[in-house]
Structure 1
Amino acid sequence: MSTARERLQQALARATDPKGEGARSCLTVYPETARIEADAADARAKAGQSLGPLDGAVITIKDLFDVAGEVTRAGSAVLAKRGRKAAADAPAIARLRAAGAVIAAKTNMTEFAFSGVGANPHFGTPGNPADRKRIPGGSSSGGAVACADGIGEITIGTDTGGSTRIPAALCGIVGYKPTQKRIPREGVYPLSFALDSIGPMARSVADCFRTDAVLAGEKPSALEAATLGDIRIGLVQGMVLDHLDGIVGPAFQQALAKLASAKRSDITLDALDIMHGVNERGGIAPAEAYTINRTLLAEDGDGVDPFVRARMMRAAPMIAADYIRNMRERLQGIARMDVLFDRVDVLAMPTTPIVAPTMEEVSTPDGFASRNALLLRNTAIANFFDLCAITLPLNFGNALPCGLMLFARHGNDARLFQIAAAIEKALKA
């Protein structure tokens, strides 16, 4: 088995290779501190000691996490220019360090984490590992590309409407969105107070599982896969299956065929009517994002990605009565959705209805808006209804990556990981 130092050196070589995507996927690389962390992990291993399942794991983190003494850019040239330095590591990052993780780099992202596309006009858009002319998905774009390209084993992102699961699905890896309250969000540049979650992306369910436990401050345990025949899967019908492209549609059907031995039933999400009504009144994330960045937009709005700025500015006329009504109706929707999990263990659907668009296809306002809406359509359900969720890669010889997404009841993260482990095994069979 290779040492932490050897795996780190491989990650650093890929991150700094001028022929690769490292310069676009990794905005800050930490060769000195990471080598110290890797050598310390190797010394513990040699002495027969361990800080836990992440000891020596090479990890990258999204650009919106505070790191002591550094500017937290959140993918923004304006924040980079303003130069406010963090006083301390975000609690999530502190937990990773305490667990012996080797933090190799900070990764690129959509500015302020506000799109599912993953484009960044300030620092460059990392090309999709399957086709460098295509987008990576967002907002945790650089992390997904870095992980898929072998720059570390695990990456830490955030997920407000799909920002770990969209890039994971489009780049062919696993992405996890936990029950929001399990992982502290202090020291993380916010997009939406109501909807933001912190979660890992990795090349396996097991790697996401061990990372999630550390982030949540939970005692690590072994991941035991559920028995496929015992799992009650609700196959979601209706809107989530609309407009599946020529790759996603067949891959999703192949995935379902692999899960034939599970207890399957068709499910309709009646509570989506509540989510649609809330979104028609301006939603939740746009209002909160505008509130967070209102002063910055007034002072330096010309320096913000115009697509991101336009999405935020649409919330400027929103009145408090509509925002309050949206928040109250969301609570009603959460209660209504929760009832479904008396009948099923997980809900299943395609992660995104389309594979990664080309960068050219999202270069215009209309092209960006239409594809961003499609990419977020299915994933945003988990955030609105306060569920935990995971995306698993579908690899059936399809030309481009796509994913199978599973939702579980709020707080049932441990059970979701057991189910995901069983389904991951079945998909690979």
Structure 2
Amino acid sequence: MTDHKTLSQLSGELESGKLTARALVDEALERAQGSANQGDVAFISIDADTIRAEAESIDKARAEGNAPSPYAGIPVSIKDLFDVKGQVTAAGSTILASNPPAAKDAEPVARLRAAGFIPFGRANMTEFAFSGLGMNAHYGDPASPWQRGVGRVAGGSSSGGAVSVAEGIVPLTLGTDTGGSCRIPAACCGIVGYKPTAVRVPQDGTVELATSLDSIGPLGNSVDCCARAFGVLAGGPPTAPEPRDVSSLRLGVLKNYVLENMDQTVAAAYEAALDALAKAGATLEDVTFDPLDRMPEINARGGLVTAEALRFHKGRLAQHEAEFDQRVSKRIRRAETQEEGEYDRILLARREMIDQAEQVFAGYDAIVMPTIPIVPPKFEDVASDDGYTRNNLLLLRNPSVGNWLDRCAISLPVTPDLSAPVGFMLMGVPGNDEALFACAFAAEQAFAPLRT
């Protein structure tokens, strides 16, 4: 059964013979049909015949004692940015949909496949990964599972993948994160989303957005799921987080920039999460990082993301602009307003801020903040250009701090499944992803009473 089980639970059932890979993917395929679990908008395409054949091959290998790992046979949805051999990589667009199929897997996909995970469907996403809302004008708008009848954004850009996990279709999805695209949808959908230190996971075979900020990470049902998936993506074994007592954590509670315009629901849940950590013995210390207050000025004309996106898409805009989602093309073209030398000045400002953060954040196991400051916006509230822009900036603001400072970061859910989803973010030390997982695993235990 795929329904919200963890990788460890599923691998145990597969190894014991209680479950077969074929049965697992058959159920996932059934749940992915139609609108009941949003399969119709969570996925752009699903190659059911190939998925079933791969599952049967893994069942045969396991019966012969040759399964590549205990996780062999577990389906994982793949964001439409990644090459999967034999499939077209459209990046959520119609412009690339006529491209030839990929000749080989992207390296992250290849690593998952080598461990026996089964690539399951091309997950929907914001076109070219350029929005934190997760909407797609061509393939439909995945919605947060919360208040489905009302209609709220799933968060982006890895929206379809997050929904595929939150709706219980698959236990894991492979996403990308340039300004929060793993953590925003995790927060909007009530699951865990991880942004690694960028250099830890290779990006070969992935459609870029902004190479200075792009990173690749998993979204899953638990910290343990994301830690094990990260181990594989980083070229190692699927490793569980190191056990750590909450009382050993020293956490910096960021007080400037990330708390502005926070709604009452998020504020209450965030304070409850901080209180839970404090009661469990964690050391919480307020910290201010003044350089962050310059971010609106630095990004006034789109910053690094739009500059690098324009560089990558300039030819496509010249030939196919009418085929773009106009909300995406309009944002990319903001880079045309940047002044001469501005890009280099932004790079310098980033380098200086990274160095400053290293000094200010030294000694903390993690820096914490709300993942996003508001509950998932209603679709009707982002229908206008002003509403779209305002909410998009709000959802991107906090998570993008981790990309800007080149740090690893994780979003954990801190509210019950049927209530408004709120994410709690921990941002770790660059390169020390394993230590952040240990912190997040400890925090997840402290948050357990908040989720019931």
The answer to whether structure 1 residue 5 and structure 2 residue 22 are counterparts is yes
Counterparts of 1:21 and 1:127, CA distance in 2: 8
Please name the residue that 1:64 is paired with.
81
Alignment partner of 1:145: what SS?
helix
Amino acid at match of 2:28: A
The answer to whether structure 1 residue 214 and structure 2 residue 238 are counterparts is no
Please name the residue that 2:380 is paired with.
360
Distance apart, 1:223 and its partner CA? 2.4
The answer to whether structure 1 residue 236 and structure 2 residue 254 are counterparts is yes
Distance apart, 1:175 and its partner CA? 0.1
Amino acid at match of 1:99: A
Amino acid at match of 1:110: T
More displaced stretch, 397-406 vs 235-244: 397-406
The answer to whether structure 1 residue 83 and structure 2 residue 81 are counterparts is no
The answer to whether structure 1 residue 346 and structure 2 residue 366 are counterparts is yes
Alignment partner of 1:405: what SS?
strand
Counterpart contact for 2:301–2:335, Cα < 8 Å: no
TM-score, reference length from structure 1: 0.96
Counterpart contact for 2:227–2:240, Cα < 8 Å: no
Counterparts of 1:18 and 1:331, CA distance in 2: 46
Please name the residue that 2:413 is paired with.
393
Please name the residue that 2:285 is paired with.
265
The answer to whether structure 1 residue 101 and structure 2 residue 117 are counterparts is yes
- Once the two structures are superposed, residues 8-37 of structure 1 have per-residue CA deviations (whole angstroms, 9 ceiling, x without a partner) of 111101111344410110111121221122
Amino acid at match of 2:160: G
Counterparts of 1:202 and 1:332, CA distance in 2: 34
Alignment partner of 2:69: what SS?
coil
Q: How does 1:2-401 map to 2 (within 5 A)?
A: 2-80=19-97, 82-132=98-148, 133-260=151-278, 261-396=281-416, 399-401=419-421
Q: Provide the aligned C-alpha RMSD in A.
A: 1.5
Counterpart contact for 1:53–1:220, Cα < 8 Å: no
Counterparts of 1:317 and 1:135, CA distance in 2: 29
Q: Which runs of 5+ in 2 are unaligned?
A: 1-12, 14-18
- 1:181/1:119 CA distance change after superposition, 3 Å: same
Counterpart contact for 1:37–1:100, Cα < 8 Å: no
Alignment partner of 1:392: what SS?
strand
Counterpart contact for 1:37–1:101, Cα < 8 Å: no
Alignment partner of 1:32: what SS?
helix
Distance apart, 1:221 and its partner CA? 3.0
**Identity between Structure 1 and Structure 2 (%):** 44
Distance apart, 1:320 and its partner CA? 4.5
Counterparts of 1:350 and 1:300, CA distance in 2: 38
- Once the two structures are superposed, residues 144-173 of structure 1 have per-residue CA deviations (whole angstroms, 9 ceiling, x without a partner) of 001111111100000000000000110000
Distance apart, 1:53 and its partner CA? 4.8
Alignment partner of 1:247: what SS?
helix
Counterpart contact for 1:274–1:329, Cα < 8 Å: no
Counterparts of 2:180 and 2:302, CA distance in 1: 18
Counterparts of 2:115 and 2:290, CA distance in 1: 42
Counterparts of 1:213 and 1:248, CA distance in 2: 31
Counterparts of 2:427 and 2:282, CA distance in 1: 16
Counterparts of 1:344 and 1:18, CA distance in 2: 44
Distance apart, 1:359 and its partner CA? 0.8
- Once the two structures are superposed, residues 375-429 of structure 1 have per-residue CA deviations (whole angstroms, 9 ceiling, x without a partner) of 0110000000000000000124773111000000100100000111111011003
Amino acid at match of 1:198: I
- 1:307/1:32 CA distance change after superposition, 3 Å: same
Counterparts of 1:42 and 1:69, CA distance in 2: 22
- 1:33/1:116 CA distance change after superposition, 3 Å: same
- Once the two structures are superposed, residues 221-266 of structure 1 have per-residue CA deviations (whole angstroms, 9 ceiling, x without a partner) of 3322211101111111022112211211111111111101101100
Counterparts of 1:364 and 1:127, CA distance in 2: 18
Counterparts of 1:73 and 1:230, CA distance in 2: 46
- 1:169/1:83 CA distance change after superposition, 3 Å: same
More displaced stretch, 288-297 vs 314-323: 314-323
Alignment partner of 1:129: what SS?
coil
Amino acid at match of 2:323: G
Counterpart contact for 2:412–2:424, Cα < 8 Å: yes
Counterparts of 2:209 and 2:337, CA distance in 1: 18
Alignment partner of 1:240: what SS?
coil
- Once the two structures are superposed, residues 86-141 of structure 1 have per-residue CA deviations (whole angstroms, 9 ceiling, x without a partner) of 22211111111111001111100000000000011111101221122111100000
Counterparts of 1:18 and 1:379, CA distance in 2: 30
Counterparts of 2:277 and 2:64, CA distance in 1: 44
Counterparts of 1:356 and 1:158, CA distance in 2: 20
Amino acid at match of 1:248: V
Amino acid at match of 2:45: T
Counterparts of 1:206 and 1:44, CA distance in 2: 26
Counterpart contact for 1:110–1:118, Cα < 8 Å: yes
- 1:131/1:397 CA distance change after superposition, 3 Å: closer
Amino acid at match of 2:78: I
Counterparts of 1:270 and 1:41, CA distance in 2: 53
Counterparts of 1:375 and 1:104, CA distance in 2: 28
Distance apart, 1:209 and its partner CA? 0.7
How many positions carry a matched residue from both structures?
Answer: 428
TM-score, reference length from structure 2: 0.91
